[in-house]
Amino acid sequence: MTDDPQKDPVVTAAELALGLLEGSELADANRRLLADADFAELVDWWHLKFAHLSRQFDAVPPPSSIWPAIDSHLAGQDDIPAIAVPTGKGWRKRAAGFLGFMLGVAVMLYVDKGTDLLGPRVVEVPVEQPVSVTPQLFAALDGGETGPDISTRLDPASRKLAVQIAGVPEAELGPSRAPELWVVPAGGAPQSLGLLPYQGGYSRELGEAEAALFAAGATIAVTYEERDSAPHSAPTTDIVAAGQLIEI
Higher pLDDT, 98 or 55: 55
> What pLDDT does residue 85 have?
44
Q: Is the pLDDT of residue 219 over 50?
A: yes
SS (H, E, C) the chain: CCCCCCCCHHHHHHHHHHCCCCHHHHHHHHHHHHHCHHHHHHHHHHHHHHHHHHCCCCCCCCCCCHHHHHHHHHHCCCCCCCCCCCCCHHHHHHHHHHHHHHHHHHHHHHHHCCCCCCCCCCCCCCCCCCCCCCCCEEEEEECCCCCCEEEEEEECCCCEEEEEEECCCHHHHCCCEEEEEEEECCCCCCEEEEECCCCEEEEEECCHHHHHCCCCCCEEEEEEEECCCCCCCCCCCCEEEEEECEEC
What pLDDT digit, counting tens, does each position of 117-127 carry?
A: 444 445 555 55
Give the range with max mean pLDDT: 9-18, 88-97, 183-192.
183-192
Q: What is the pLDDT of residue 177?
A: 95
Per-residue CA distances from 219 to 33, 133, 141, 162, 176 (Å): 31, 24, 9, 16, 26
State the pLDDT at residue 189.
Answer: 93
Q: Is the pLDDT of residue 29 over 50?
A: yes
Phi, psi of 166, rounded to the nearest 5 degrees: -155, 155
C-alpha closest to that of 184 among 222, 135, 225, 228? 222
* Closest to 176 (Cα-Cα) out of 225, 239, 234: 225
**Fold assignment, 134-247:** Immunoglobulin-like (2.60.40)
Q: CA-CA distance, 26 to 11, in Å (whole number)?
A: 13
Query: With pLDDT > 70 as the criterion, what percentage of the chain qualifies?
Result: 65
Most distant pair of Cα atoms in the chain: their distance: 96
**pLDDT at residue 156, rounded to an integer:** 92
Task: Please give the backbone phi and psi of residue 178, each rounded to the nearest 5 degrees, phi first.
Answer: -155, 160
pLDDT value of residue 117 = 40
The amino acid occupying position 63 is P
Residue 45 has what pLDDT? Answer: 80
Residue 38 in this model has a pLDDT that exceeds 60: yes
At 154 the pLDDT is 92
Please indicate whether residue 170 or residue 103 has the higher confidence score (pLDDT). Answer: 170
State which amino acid sits at residue 186.
A
Q: How many CA atoms lie within 13 A of 154 on its CB side?
A: 23
- Rounded CA-CA distance 114/63 in Å is 15
Mean pLDDT over residues 54-64, rounded? 63
Between residues 18 and 112, which one has the greater pLDDT?
A: 18
- What number is the average pLDDT over the span 5-26? 80
pLDDT at 53: 61
Max mean pLDDT among 40-49, 80-89, 142-151, 174-183 falls in 174-183
